Amino acid sequence: MPKQKQLQDIISHCKEYGFVFQSSEIYDGLQAVYDYGQMGAELKKNIKDYWWYSMTRLHDNIVGIDAAIFMHPTVWKASGHVDNFNDPMIDNKDSKKRYRVDHLIEAHAATLDEAAGKELVAKMELLLAADDFAALKQLIEDNKIKCAISGTANWTDIRQFNLMFDTQMGSTSTEEDDKVYLRPETAQGIFVNFLNVQKTGRMKIPFGIAQVGKAFRNEIVARGFIFRMREFEQMEMQYFIKPGTQKEWYEFWKQARTNWHKTLGIPAEQYHFHDHVKLAHYADAACDIEYNFPDWGFKEVEGIHSRTDFDLGRHQEFSKKKLTYFDTEENKHYVPYVIETSIGLDRTVMMVLSEAYEEQDLSTAEKQDSRVVLRFAPHLAPIKLAVFPLTKKDGLPDVAKELMDICRPHFKCFYEEKDAIGKRYRRQDAIGTPFCVTIDHQTLEDRTVTIRHRDSMEQERIPMDKVKDIVLEKIKQF
């Protein structure tokens, strides 16, 4: 019987076997920043490649791009990130409730008579424009504005939370105008290149643009291992469609993404769909694909959004460049609608790790025994094949190395001759290697080897010449 999974055990395992380390650990780490180790990097890359090929190879009408992390500052005005994430906030210390300062003051102004209310709002707007937070707090205190929940006026200082990291472009510059942001999402890199790709790729609607890349969010509270990091990687695909067809395409991608998730080797009951009732400003439909994480329950891994023409429309407005498509069937120009699929790569890594992790009790009447095994889908496993000579004598290592030479160019292999064979198997279980091949004395006679399967722990004897093709067949993605 597998033991109940605990997040803490999985995190320890990730550290112990080189999947995930805390960033800058020797300096006490950096909050909510993590590094992938030798195993984690392979796992992550396998997931990334699998997504990329699922999008760009299996769909003739989806192409991939790789946009820069830095973008023109106006991009973030057009996207709404600057306006929506720069509001000064204030917390009530008693109720712990956080308010947007402008909302708090406006709500209070509404309770005053008209002239006084207008005067208060006017004062507030002057101070907001000047970013004078101390005076704003004074204004709140002078007006004896209270928290609706606690009824007290016990406020923290006003703070400005900015989701976006910024830096200066140009080494000597300190001008506000030269501020550039580290992108908080990858989607905008696709939208601003919409026309470039459509024209140069001669793309016809409907078509998609896929991208994998880093994004950065200066979260106020970032926690939860690699689930919510300040620097993270997204895999996004924006699908450009004819206005009016968004319902069908939304359903299509919902289904397509669900099917993709099933091929990760995760059972359907571990997933939930969560349809958004309250929609973001750009969306006319949205849902999350949620995975049942240990300890946490269902949490979002992927979002599918029907974004209408909001993004292209805004970029058209801000850039004053036409971002329309000429539809030869309809014989007219229009701004395409967009269906977005956006999946967190790090969250997917965590999901795959969580699902794969299993502590098994293998005890028999005679002896206690257990193992930790990562039951990765073979195409995602960091190492596909381990090759073991049963002993390091009698020329067995030479034959094993011969097999290594045959397999090495095709998939990631691992060779080991140290320790008892059982111990070597268990070490591979712990990093999720699906196949182990052992060269024994019979191999010297008839060129057969045993292949041992990770999940069943069963072995079969096969010709050594077939190992490569058997493993290739099992790790085939499509």
Q: Which stretch binds RNA (CB under 7 A): 171-179, 329-337, 391-399, 464-472?
A: 391-399
Calculate the alpha carbon distances from 202 to 55, 192, 194 in Å.
18, 17, 12
Cα–Cα distance measured from residue 378 to residue 390, given in angstroms and rounded to the nearest whole number: 24
Cα–Cα distance measured from residue 409 to residue 399, given in angstroms and rounded to the nearest whole number: 17
Nearer to RNA, 173 or 370 (CB): 370
Residue 103 beta carbon to RNA: minimum distance, rounded to whole angstroms: 12
Cα–Cα distance measured from residue 186 to residue 210, given in angstroms and rounded to the nearest whole number: 10
Q: Which stretch binds RNA (CB under 7 A): 21-29, 102-110, 167-175, 314-322?
A: 21-29
Nearer to RNA, 65 or 457 (CB): 457
Q: Does 369 bind RNA (CB under 7 A)?
A: yes
Which of 1, 68, 277, 420 is in the footprint of RNA by CB under 7 A? 420
Residue 464 beta carbon to RNA: minimum distance, rounded to whole angstroms: 11
Instruction: For the segment 185-204, give every residue that binds RNA (CB under 7 A).
Output: 185
Q: What is the largest CA-CA distance in the chain?
A: 100
Q: Which stretch binds RNA (CB under 7 A): 44-52, 92-100, 115-123, 316-324?
A: 92-100
User: Which amino acid is it at 419?
Assistant: D
Which of 167, 168, 255, 370 is in the footprint of RNA by CB under 7 A? 370
Residue 420 beta carbon to RNA: minimum distance, rounded to whole angstroms: 5
Q: Does 80 bind RNA (CB under 7 A)?
A: yes
Nearer to RNA, 293 or 325 (CB): 293
Q: Does 214 bind RNA (CB under 7 A)?
A: no
Which of 2, 29, 201, 395 is in the footprint of RNA by CB under 7 A? 29
Q: Which stretch binds RNA (CB under 7 A): 83-91, 146-154, 257-265, 315-323?
A: 83-91
Which of 118, 223, 322, 333 is in the footprint of RNA by CB under 7 A? 223
Q: Does 404 bind RNA (CB under 7 A)?
A: no
Site track for RNA across 148-177, x = CB under 7 A: --------x---------------------
Site track for RNA across 284-313, x = CB under 7 A: -----------xx-----------------
Which of 8, 86, 168, 200 is in the footprint of RNA by CB under 7 A? 8
Residue 419 beta carbon to RNA: minimum distance, rounded to whole angstroms: 7
Q: Closest Cα to residue 47, out of 296, 377, 438, 465?
A: 377
Name the phi and psi angles at 223, rounded to 5: -155, 170
Q: Does 391 bind RNA (CB under 7 A)?
A: yes
Residues in contact with 407: Cβ distance below 8 Å, sequence separation at least 6, in sequence order: 385, 387, 413, 467, 468, 471
Nearer to RNA, 196 or 442 (CB): 442
Residues in contact with 416: Cβ distance below 8 Å, sequence separation at least 6, in sequence order: 386, 387, 388, 424, 427
Nearer to RNA, 9 or 49 (CB): 9
CA atoms within 13 A on the CB side of 455: 8
Which of 427, 462, 474, 477 is in the footprint of RNA by CB under 7 A? 427
Q: Are strands 231-241 and 207-216 parallel, antiparallel or unpaired?
A: antiparallel
Q: Which stretch binds RNA (CB under 7 A): 125-133, 142-150, 362-370, 463-471?
A: 362-370
Nearer to RNA, 103 or 118 (CB): 103
Which of 35, 91, 166, 251 is in the footprint of RNA by CB under 7 A? 91
Q: Does 425 bind RNA (CB under 7 A)?
A: yes
Instruction: For the segment 258-287, give every residue that binds RNA (CB under 7 A).
Output: 280-281
Q: Does 119 bind RNA (CB under 7 A)?
A: no
Which of 98, 179, 272, 274 is in the footprint of RNA by CB under 7 A? 98
Q: Which residues bind RNA (CB under 7 A)?
A: 7-8, 11-12, 15-16, 22, 28-32, 79-81, 83-85, 91, 96-98, 156, 184-185, 219-221, 223-225, 228, 280-281, 295-296, 362, 367-370, 390-393, 418-423, 425-427, 438-440, 449-450, 452, 457-459
